[in-house]
Structure 1
């Protein structure tokens, strides 16, 4: 998953996606299915100049959280947030952004502390298609083998530059941190991250999905799409910001 700015920066890729480089994930779900309207009422599309580049999560009427790597290249005046629709390009409610707050510990080289808070210029109230995410408890760390689900408008295959029009989702098991560290290196996967994938590959988030939600079986927001080696490759899990360890930053900026 590479940082999202190269389609806007190759769809904000820190997710190891192009070639075999580790990059932030900017775009689509691989091996997933179509999401239903209202299934992820808190998901939002982040766009600049009319183009989607990352996902985000609505946590109250005035606040979105997303990946730091989706945030560092933009000023608040350059971006918009769209909520309450299955299509990133139309429908729902679109508002501007008044402030972008990147976690001060974010490291662009390692993608550690990959979280940012966006304050909205106009509030987005709850409705039949819009709701706010449930944040995890402090210290929450998804258990290996538990099923988590992510959604986004990212690319549906590694290296693609074409985004799907409608929202997709995919469910995968959590991979133990030790296993994920054996794939990427011990120092690459920190305790601010968790990993999820099926061992044989084939299902994953991808470029353009960065910053979007990953939730547990109870619908609790456990993390944000962050990075990975390519998309859906066997032996390389998707890596997600672990909100349970980053919660104090988020709560301080709500």
Structure 2
């Protein structure tokens, strides 16, 4: 057998290959660093006031969460977004959000938060100048029937802490969106911090019994049937956050107001107000939902979410971590069909879930929120978890206290 003798590379060839490799590696690293730096974005937060006139009087849209407030806010937010649509900077306006309207010097001011994501390569001073220029000059081209006094528009840069405080003082805002693939609380998906900041846990002698909804810093909404036996407010506490233990914050209950027309075993008027022993401080994780007007319409088929700490199947265990489920609003006529609830659904109730089953609230979720969003991604309380036939059965969707039907009662007893 003959064995071939291998050839060795000359030292200068090895050196050349090593040098070329190092140069190529350096170029790749340099390009990667440049790409990352060029595409890295910084957040710029601004508070702006826009004086304007419109065909509506201030009294028609000045009340937060009203239909007219929502419509006017959407018009102005869209107008501002359109003004920045041809934005010359390497970045984008990711959020324009009206936080309130106010009257000033006989006119109206829109108070707005603006959040931009701008490439880190941009000069901060140049960013501020272009944003100010756009607000003062380009609004003229997109204002339509809204007449903005461009010369009086004011804007100031604010930090993240200030931005969070403004957002948290608004009703119905949240930090992240839930997955559209959520199934049901009975085997559904866990909630992340800040997703549903208005959810509360009600505990009798420190044991979770029902859910509740933050509607102000001193008031919660829940289900009347939670207090049918357990009536002593001093033995109830409310905790907030995505876990019961440990809670993000916790406080006592000072007063319980059960709807005077609620009479067990009927499910009608299944709603109660709870006054907290001390006001809560709004944070990213804990703040209020929006209450809809009495004439607000949630449409059949609309996607809603229900959340709670309840069991995941009948006779199961309560959850320490908050869960969520996406459901659909089912019209009352369908829900009153013989094979569903056979006429048991009254005007103070609404149905939500799926006629196929599998998506539902369950025991321990009572008193919790059923919510839906509007075009501004602001969330409104549609219902309070009330009752149902078992959990997640076909043709047996969840039944909720209809908040719009009980809206005047809420205002009468707590002023909200």
TM-score range, shorter chain: 0.7 to 0.9
Distance of 2:278 and 2:265 partners within structure 1: 33
* 1:112 to partner: Cα distance: 0.3
| Runs of 4+ displaced beyond 4 Å | none
- The counterpart of 1:223, out of the listed 376, 383, 386, is 383
Count matched residues. 224
Is 2:272 the counterpart of 1:116?
yes
Q: How does 1:39-118 map to 2 (within 5 A)?
A: 39-73=195-229, 74-83=231-240, 85-118=241-274
Is 2:397 the counterpart of 1:233?
no
* 1:78 to partner: Cα distance: 1.2
Distance of 2:353 and 2:242 partners within structure 1: 24
- 1:194 to 1:244, Cα distance in 2 relative to 1, 3 A: same
Q: How does 1:183-222 map to 2 (within 5 A)?
A: 183-186=340-343, 188-218=344-374, 219-222=379-382
Distance of 2:295 and 2:227 partners within structure 1: 24
* 1:251 to partner: Cα distance: 1.2
Is 2:299 the counterpart of 1:143?
yes
Distance of 2:281 and 2:228 partners within structure 1: 27
Distance of 1:128 and 1:146 partners within structure 2: 26
Distance of 1:78 and 1:165 partners within structure 2: 20
Q: Which residue of 2 aligns with 1:171?
A: 326
Is 2:402 the counterpart of 1:247?
no
CA deviations over 1:164-204 (Å, ceiling 9, x no partner): 11000000111110111111121x21011110111211110
SS of 2:239's equivalent in the other structure is strand
SS of 2:237's equivalent in the other structure is strand
Structure 2: give runs of 5+ residues left out of the alignment.
1-183
Q: Which residue of 2 aligns with 1:22?
A: none
SS of 1:224's equivalent in the other structure is strand
Q: Which residue of 2 aligns with 1:19?
A: none
SS of 1:208's equivalent in the other structure is coil
Work out which of the two has the higher radius of gyration on C-alpha atoms and give 1 or 2: 2
Q: Is the 8 A contact 1:44 1:57 kept in 2?
A: yes
CA deviations over 1:7-51 (Å, ceiling 9, x no partner): xxxxxxxxxxxxxxxxxxxxx921421111111111100001121
- In the superposition, the TM-score normalised over structure 2's length comes to 0.53
* 1:141 to partner: Cα distance: 4.3
Q: Which residue of 2 aligns with 1:157?
A: 313
Distance of 1:89 and 1:111 partners within structure 2: 31
RMSD: 1.3
- In the superposition, the TM-score normalised over structure 1's length comes to 0.85
Distance of 1:70 and 1:149 partners within structure 2: 21
Structure 1: give runs of 5+ residues left out of the alignment.
1-27
- Would you tell me which structure has more helix in proportion to its own residues? 2
CA deviations over 1:184-236 (Å, ceiling 9, x no partner): 121x2101111011121111000000000000133111111000000000111
Distance of 1:89 and 1:193 partners within structure 2: 32
SS of 1:247's equivalent in the other structure is helix
SS of 1:248's equivalent in the other structure is helix
